[in-house]
Amino acid sequence: MIQGMRHVLKIKYICMAAVILLLGMAFSGCGKNENVASEEQISTIETEHSDVANADGDLSSRDVAVNLVDEQENDDRNDDRDDNRNNDRNGNENDGENAISDGANPSDKTGQETTDGEQQNMKIYVAIGDSLTHGYGLADKKNDRFSAIVTENLNKAGDFYVEYNYGVDGLTTDGLLDMLEQGGIGMISEADLITIDIGANDVLDSMNPIIYATIENGSVTKEKYEQALSNYQNSLLSGYENTKAVLEFIKEKNPDCQIVIATIYNPYRYIDLDIIIEGENTALSDFTDSMMQELNENIKALANEYDCRVADWYTAFAMTKLNVLNARYDETVVNLDIHPNKEGYNLMATVVYEAIAQ
């Protein structure tokens, strides 16, 4: 039935593929170049953000500009940054490094006033990662992204944290490593808690050509399929090495910080679509599931090596009976947005909080 539907709706799917590509790019990325701003963009942003450069010279306005690579939702992020600069200047002495973050005062999230003693004992929570950390797709990122919910729950439990969110849509492991090494992520040395979600864009990007070819043409050539597998294996290896370097960097800067690293869920678990490779069928959901399991094995191995706790999003998303994903593909719906919905972000926050509290 699905095969017949492709012939009937072929034109529709070709048009939808362009829309899907734009949606997927935020999470799946377009490779390393996605995280590099053009000289024109750098010049413009450098002028706009020159006032937030580090007074000590550690973080120049150009450094801030280079790392403002999330152009897709730039207006929203600039609003967040404007709010946070006021918060930072009113009691958080951090050398201006969190000027590109979305940090917020925990007392604003909990709705509870904090005493002077509680403010003096505030802990620092730094969330780093890709669009899942940023809260892609949420109408109210500041309050509904998983790091904000985690912060609120910690504060309600009497463990007061201030949140600094450095999520960047489309970020890959090499992009995260570059941000750290170039000083684009502040508060690493001062953080009491760091959460990391990274690696999905490295591997998911390799399979996009297969998905789009299936939608547009109904099948994939063996050559294209083998090339995608080769790209996936290379991305898996480089992602492992980059994530290892990220953890080494953090441990060197802050050996006593608690680190929680997340596994990645299967974004196409509910997709009823077969990848047809020269007459042989493979379910897309099974294909991506095997990819995520290999990626997560690497994440768990690194967590064990560097004494990190694991927030197992993969298992939580696999076990839940809730509707937590946006992606759907059937007779009535074609939606390959691989991000979670609001319920999914809530589930992610629950898993992270439980990992912290264990």
For residue 167, which amino acid is it? G
Domain ranges across the chain: 2-43+70-357
| pLDDT reading at 200 higher than 90 | yes
Q: CATH top-level class for 2-43+70-357? A: alpha beta
Please give the C-alpha separations between residue 137 and each of 126, 243, 288, in angstroms, as whole numbers.
Answer: 21, 25, 22
Cβ proximity of 166 and 179 under 8 Å: yes
Q: Which of 200-204, 219-223, 309-313 has the highest mean pLDDT?
A: 309-313
pLDDT average, residue stretch 245-255:
98
In the predicted model, what is the mean pLDDT of the chain? 76
pLDDT value of position 328? 85
Joined tokens for residue 260? 């929680």
pLDDT tens, position by position, 92-146: 333 323 333 444 333 333 333 455 555 668 999 999 999 999 999 999 999 999 9
Inform me whether the pLDDT recorded for 337 exceeds 70: yes
pLDDT tens track for 214-243: 888 888 888 988 999 999 999 999 999 999
Per-residue confidence (pLDDT) for residue 100, from 0 to 100: 38
Q: What pLDDT score does 227 carry?
A: 92
Q: Is the pLDDT of residue 350 over 60?
A: yes
Nearest CA-CA partner of 208 in 61, 28, 66: 28
Token pair for 90: 């009113």
Mean pLDDT of 273-285: 85
More confident residue, 78 or 341: 341
